[in-house]
Amino acid sequence: MRRMTARPANAHQARLLRLLRDGGAHSRAQLGEEVDLSRSKLAVEVDRLLETGLVVADGLAASRGGRRSHNIRLAPHLRFLGVDIGATSVDVAVTNAELEVLGHITQPMDVREGPVAVFEQVLDMAEKLKASGLAEGFDGAGIGVPGPVRFPEGVPVAPPIMPGWDGFPVREALSQELGCPVMVDNDVNLMAMGEQHAGVARTARDFLCVKIGTGIGCGIVVGSTVYRGTTGSAGDIGHIQVEPDGLPCACGNQGCLEAHFSGSALARDAEQVAREGRSAELAARLAAAGRLSAADVAAAASGGDTAALELIRRGGRHTGQVIAGLVSFFNPGLVVIGGGVTGLGHNLLAAIRTQVYRQSLPLATGNLPIVLGELGPAAGVIGGARLISDHLFSPA
C-alpha cells in the first residue's frame, strides 16, 4: 500500500487532521462545530483531504435530522513508528494515525554501544512489527533519546550518558533507513507528549513531567506545547544542587540531584546497605544476582524492608526539594512523575508530595495534583508517534 505522501495544504486542513487524530471519527457537522469555517469552506477542505487519501469517508454518522452523512476519519492504513531509546532498554511500537498502539516491543539495550549498533537493533524491531502484519511500512517515525537534542536538526548534543552520540545525525540517518520522515527529541519530552495525548495530562495546559530513570529529567509543557529552551536543554534538572557539600557527580560538581537519587544512585546505595548488613532482604538479592537495581529496592520495600523504604523516602525528599523549586518558579497545573523508578510507587510519591507541599507557597500548590504517569513505558512510544504526527499534520 502506498505510504503517506501528502501533507495538509493549509492551517485549516492541519487542524482537521489533528481533530481526527485526537478525537477519532467525526461527522461533517461535528467537524463544523469545532473549526471556525463556513459550511462551504469546510466542505472544500474536507473534500481536498479526501482527495489526498489522508482521510476517508467511513460508515454513516448518527442522524441529527435531515440526510445522514458519512463519518470522516483518518486513513486506516496510516502507520507511525514510536521509538523510545533509554539508557538500558529500547521500546519500539507501531500506531495507527489516531496514535493507538497496535504493537509494542521492549528489549534490553545499552545506549553506550553507540548509534550504529542501537539503530541496527531498532530497525530489526521495526521489521518484526512489520512481519507480524501490523504495518506494511511507516508513514513517519518519532524517536526519543536520553539526552539533549538540537531539535530542528534532530541531532543529540553533548549527551552525558550517551558516549558516541554527540552530533550523530539521528534524524537524517533513520529517515534514510526507514524511508519516511523522522523527528527526534529528548526522551522526557516524548513521555510528556504521551501522557498529554493518552495519559494523565490529557486536560493540562501547563504541566511538568519528571522522569526518574537511570538519570532524571523534566518535560516542560507550556500552553499545550513542549518547551525545549534556547539550546534544547530545558528540563535538565538532574544537575540542580540538592546538597551544598553533597556527593560528587559525574558532571564534575557536587551534590547534584542525580548524584543523590536516580535509578543508578539508588542501585549504588542499595548495594551499600546490603553490604553493611542493614537489610537482609537486599543482601539476599545482592548475593543471588551479584548486583541490585531500583526494582530490587521496590520489591524489598513492598515487603516492608525498612532500609529500602528509607532509601526511597530519602530519594523522594531530594526529588521533592527540586520539584518544590520548580513549582514555585513555574506554577504548573499538574506534575507527573514517571520513568523506571515509578515501580517505587506510592512511597516515592508520598515523599515527593510531602516535600513539595511543605516547601512551595500555598498559592502554587493549592490545586496542584502530583501524580504518577498512567502509561508506563507506552508513554514514550505514544509520545514519539505524537511528535511525528504533529510534524506531518502541519502545513507543508
Nearer to its own copies, 222 or 284 (CB): 222
Nearer to its own copies, 164 or 246 (CB): 246
User: Considering the complex, what minimum distance in angstroms separates the CB of residue 222 from its own copies?
Assistant: 5
User: Considering the complex, what minimum distance in angstroms separates the CB of residue 119 from its own copies?
Assistant: 23
User: Considering the complex, what minimum distance in angstroms separates the CB of residue 318 from its own copies?
Assistant: 11
In this structure, how many other beta carbons lie within 10 angstroms of the beta carbon of residue 29?
14
Kindly tell me the burial class for residue 254, based on how many C-beta atoms sit within 10 Å of its own C-beta (0-12, 13-18, 19 or more).
middle
Q: Cell for 310? A: 528509607
Taking alpha carbons only, the member of 238, 198, 197 closest to residue 214 is: 238
Rounded CA separation 69/330 (Å): 46
User: Considering the complex, what minimum distance in angstroms separates the CB of residue 383 from its own copies?
Assistant: 20
Residue 104 bridge partners (DSSP): 93
Q: Cell for 296? A: 530490587
Contact partners, residue 51, CB within 8 Å, separation at least 6? none
Cell 542501537 identifies what position?
118
90 in helix, strand or coil? strand
User: Considering the complex, what minimum distance in angstroms separates the CB of residue 241 from its own copies?
Assistant: 6
User: Considering the complex, what minimum distance in angstroms separates the CB of residue 192 from its own copies?
Assistant: 14
User: Considering the complex, what minimum distance in angstroms separates the CB of residue 172 from its own copies?
Assistant: 21
Q: 119-128: string of b/e by CB count within 10 Å (b at 16+)? A: bebbeebbee
Nearer to its own copies, 72 or 237 (CB): 237
Nearer to its own copies, 200 or 286 (CB): 200
In this structure, the dihedral spanned by the alpha carbons of residues 10, 4, 180 and 16, taken in order and rounded to 10 degrees, is 40
Region of residue 59 (phi > 0: left; psi between -120 and 50: alpha; otherwise: beta):
left
Nearer to its own copies, 225 or 306 (CB): 225
Nearer to its own copies, 138 or 330 (CB): 330
Binding site for its own copies (CB under 8 A): 148, 157-158, 205-206, 218, 220, 222, 227-237, 239-241, 243-244, 251, 253, 321-322, 324-326, 328-333, 358-364, 366-368
Nearer to its own copies, 16 or 256 (CB): 256
